[in-house]
Structure formats: structure tokens, C-alpha cells
Amino acid sequence: MKTLDFFAPSAIKLVAAMGDAEMGALAFGVIGFDAQGLVRRYSSVESRLAGLSAERVIGQSMFQSVAPCMNNFMVAQRFADAAAQQTRLDDTIDYVLTLRMRPTQVRLRLLASPDQPIRFILVDRRV
């Protein structure tokens, strides 16, 4: 089973190649969404920590339904800009999640690449 460090180089390709069990063995949550913003991958770690089942999240709009607290210039806009410019996105930011929970400090790694159909947000709550 593959393991992945939160800061690993080429993380988008490594995460994209993982199966659900491998993603579930990571020390952080993973959310993957397509070009239309619909969630396509949702790790069991993220499900457990966020309190949202994969069944409830898969197929839903990432920034409208699942995580509207990320629908801003710090997160959603970076993905939109990378897509519009057809450029790679690999940014790590400190963030505070506020939806459906008390404010929770996290570290987010935003990953997108023109050669990958799924964009990813890695959510590390061990900050």
C-alpha cells in the first residue's frame, strides 16, 4: 500500500493513482473534484473528520454544497485561475474551516494540473 507525505513532490499524480483504501490510510483528508466542481473522490479520513459521508458528498458541488467556506479567493479562485490559464497549481495555505463545525485550524494543499482530470484538496488537521 502506498503512503504519501503531505508535502511530497508530484503529489497530484500520486494521489490520483491511489485507490480508496490507500487514500483512507493517509494521515490527512483528500477531496477530489472535476472541472465542473463536482466531488468525485472523498477519502474515508476526510469523511470521518468532517462528519460527512462519501454518499452525501460524491456528485455534489465542492464549493457550493460541500465546502462553501472555501468558496473564496484563497481556495476556489486559485483553482479557477489555474484552469483558466491552463497552469499547474500546487499551493499550501493555512486555513480555518468553519462549516458544520467549530472553527478548525487546518493546512490545505491545493493541487491541480492541466494533464489531470481531477483537482485535489489535501486537508491536514494536525497543525
Report the CATH number that the domain containing residue 33 is assigned in CATH. 3.30.450.20
Contact call for residues 104 and 96 (beta carbons, < 8 A): yes
Query: 115: domain range?
Result: 27-124
- 6 contacts: CB under 8 Å, gap ≥ 6: 27, 28, 107, 109, 122, 124
pLDDT tens sequence across 63-103: 999 999 999 999 999 999 999 999 999 999 999 998 666 78
Report the greatest alpha carbon distance in the chain.
36
Which three three-digit cell numbers place residue 41? Answer: 473522490
CA 46, chain centre distance (Å): 9
108 phi and psi, to 5 degrees?
Answer: -110, 140
Tell me which amino acid residue 55 is: E
19 is a domain residue:
no
| Residue ranges of E strands in 28-118 | 29-33, 39-42, 89-97, 104-112
Confidence of residue 1 (pLDDT cuts 50, 70, 90): very low
Domain total in the chain: 1
110 is a domain residue:
yes
The pTM (predicted TM-score) of the whole model is 0.94
